[in-house]
Amino acid sequence: MTARHRSRRRELVESIAQGAVLLSDDGQGFAINEAARELLAIPEGARARTAEDVLTHPALAEAVDDVLDTAQPVTLEIDRAEARLRVNVSMLRDEVLVLITDRTEEHRVDELRRDFVVNASHELKTPVTSIQALAEALSVVCHEQPERVPELVGQLGDEAARLAALVPDLLDLRRLEERGPLELASVDLAELVRRVVANQIDRAEDLEVGLVVDVPSEVEIPGIVGDLQVVVRNLVRNALTYNRAGGTVEVRLRTLDDDDTVELVVADTGVGIASSELPRIFERFYRVDPARSRATGGTGLGLSIVRHAVENLGGSVEVASQLGDGTSFTVRLPTVRPATAR
């Protein structure tokens, strides 16, 4: 191969967007682009070394040997560090071309989708099974025990309400987990908080819980109105649900000293959360008190939805709690547009 020919091949490899390595027919690497160096952690100066040295992964070196022996292309997936890579190895005339694609994000979304289907199926099964059983019971008692009809109709309504609450939460969670670049707009978070809390006043009165709101007249942040409403509503509803009669829920909003961050705190005087439970409360479908969640119609998705919505906006959420002594959630959101958003 002439020097001019090698130079053109190197230019071709370096122009490819995905990771690319070109090897001679004797397994010597002579063209490696920057994407391949990053994905495979190929050291500088590796150009003239063997395929095993250049590709840094035994399975890739074996694939190159197979292609050299059979001239048939090989596709495989490998894990390197925390990345999932798809590699295509094929002959390019008398050389071997290795193309590497980073499938880490795609793999993550696939796993989320599989987990979502499994978890959703499990959670939907319980109310659906209950509705079926109650419907069958109604068909019997209508004639044999008509006095039980109101009781069963009430139970049927409860299960239908649980199902009705679960479906939108599932859709919200899937949307937030799989969302790409965000279309952000300026949102007055102070006005949004006041509006959401106002919608919870009747619920607070029914539960005999006081609502205290302390927010500035205006706080503008880049965000998505629907997602921010979900965050505030879920935190306030949780604080009311897991409180006690005569208790209080405080909702506070302020801009931190650096002016780059706003802090939303939702604190209650309720039952609290054991320290052993705290690391798991943002997991999907995790319930600290399953019995109480069933009684109150909780889906086990609210805090997971909060975490995803906040992190999508470049923020963070923290929890502090003591069993029997209330819980406080602190959400911090940037007042400037995150670099990853549009």
CATH of the domain at 151: 1.10.287.130
Using CA atoms, how far residue 231 sits from 130, 186, 280, 328, 333, in Å, is 30, 17, 18, 14, 12
pLDDT the model gives residue 240: 94
Instruction: Please list, in sequence order, all residues whose beta carbon lies within 8 angstroms of the beta carbon of residue 242, skipping any fewer than 6 positions away.
Output: 268, 270, 271, 289, 292, 327
Helices 225-241, 189-198: axis angle to 10 degrees equals 40
Write down which residue in 102, 122, 152 finishes a domain.
Answer: 102
Q: What is the pLDDT of residue 319?
A: 95
Residue 297: what are its φ and ψ, rounded to 5°? Answer: 80, 15
pLDDT digits (tens, 9 = 90+) for 78-98: 887 778 889 899 988 778 888
Would you tell me the crossing angle of helices 302-312 and 149-178 to the nearest 10 degrees? Answer: 20
Domain containing residue 29: CATH number: 3.30.450.20
Q: How far is the C-alpha of 315 from the C-alpha of 301, rounded, in Å?
A: 19
Does residue 234 register a pLDDT over 90? yes
User: Cα angle vertex 85, ends 114, 105, to 5°?
Assistant: 45
Distance CA 100, CA 88 (A): 7
pLDDT at 5: 61
Token pair belonging to 294:
């069933």
Could you tell me the pLDDT band of residue 51, with boundaries at 50, 70 and 90?
low
Find the domain containing 25 and state its range: 3-102
- Give the residue from 69, 102, 135 where a domain finishes: 102
Same domain, 98 and 156: no
- Whether residue 168 sits in one domain with residue 67: no
Asked if 253 contacts 215 with a C-beta cutoff of 8 angstroms, the reply is yes
Confidence of residue 291 (pLDDT cuts 50, 70, 90): very low
CA atoms within 13 A on the CB side of 236: 27
Q: Do 283 and 304 belong to one domain?
A: yes
* pTM attached to this predicted model: 0.58
87 near 78, Cβ under 8 Å? yes
Q: What is the mean pLDDT of residues 152-164?
A: 81
CATH of the domain at 247: 3.30.565.10
Shared domain for 113 and 93, answered yes or no, is no
The whole-number average pLDDT for the span 72-77 is 90
Please give the Cα distance from 60 to 127 (Å, whole number).
49
Cβ neighbours of 191 (radius 10 Å): 14
CA distance 108 to 179: 13
| Average of per-residue pLDDT values in the chain | 82
Q: Are residues 72 and 124 in the same domain?
A: no
